[in-house]
């Protein structure tokens, strides 16, 4: 997909209510799941015990951590949008995060980004509120729907 390039944080205001774009597909591998388990300390068997999952999980596959699915939104953001003339930016948090369908190992996921709001902040910042829908290839229900926020400060 082509990345949308926006000239400045202030220019984001004109895009409120619009879908900004869709990321490239990302395959969820067992290595990525295992690495996330090590980093997060979440070693629940549904994520990391491949042998047990062969008999005790639907389709015999492990599933990605919900927080892993959520965390790759930052990767998707780099595929979808570039705001130019930014001095610095910060992650401002999340308002809502819902995990609506599990992501099985081997699945491909992608992010669909919509701009919900772009509000002025002090020091020339624009606080952007996004809706992210993490889609699973070939599935009707998304893996995750999240409302995230970030602030971008314009170069002066």
pLDDT tens, position by position, 78-90:
999 999 999 999 9
| CATH code of the domain containing 92 | 3.10.129.10
Cα 69 from Cα 135, distance rounded (Å): 10
Q: How far apart are CA 152 and CA 43, in angstroms?
A: 35
Question: pTM of this prediction?
Answer: 0.94
How is residue 151 written in tokens? 């602030």
Q: Which of helix, strand or coil describes residue 153?
A: strand
- Report CA-CA distances (Å) from 101 to 5, 6, 64, 144: 31, 32, 11, 7
Question: Which residue, among 105, 106, 111, has the nearest Cα to 24 in the 3D structure?
Answer: 111
Q: Which residue has the tokens 């190992």?
A: 105
**Closest Cα partner for 76 from 35, 122, 39, 26?**
26
CA atoms within a 13 Å half-sphere pointing along the CA-CB vector of 48: 12
Mean pLDDT of the chain: 96
pLDDT digits (tens, 9 = 90+) for 15-50: 999 999 999 999 999 999 999 999 999 999 999 999
Give me the number of domains the chain comprises: 1
125 touches 153 (CB < 8 A): yes
pLDDT digits over 104-154, tens only? 999 999 999 999 999 999 888 999 999 999 999 999 999 999 999 999 999
For residue 107, the enclosing domain spans: 4-154
């Amino acid at each position: 997909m082509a990345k949308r390039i926006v000239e400045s944080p202030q220019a984001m205001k004109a895009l409120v209510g619009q879908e900004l774009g869709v990321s490239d597909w990302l395959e969820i591998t067992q290595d990525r799941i295992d690495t996330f388990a090590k980093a997060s300390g979440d070693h629940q068997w549904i994520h990391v015990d491949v042998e047990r999952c062969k008999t005790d999980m639907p389709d015999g596959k492990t599933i990605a951590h919900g927080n892993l699915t959520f965390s790759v939104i930052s990767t998707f953001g780099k595929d979808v949008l570039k705001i130019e003339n930014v001095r610095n930016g910060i992650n401002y948090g999340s308002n809502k995060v819902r995990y609506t369908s599990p992501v099985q190992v081997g699945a491909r996921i992608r992010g669909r980004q919509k701009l919900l709001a772009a509000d002025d902040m002090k020091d020339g910042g624009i606080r952007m509120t996004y809706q992210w829908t993490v889609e699973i290839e070939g599935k009707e229900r998304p893996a995750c729907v999240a409302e995230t926020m970030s602030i971008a400060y314009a170069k002066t």
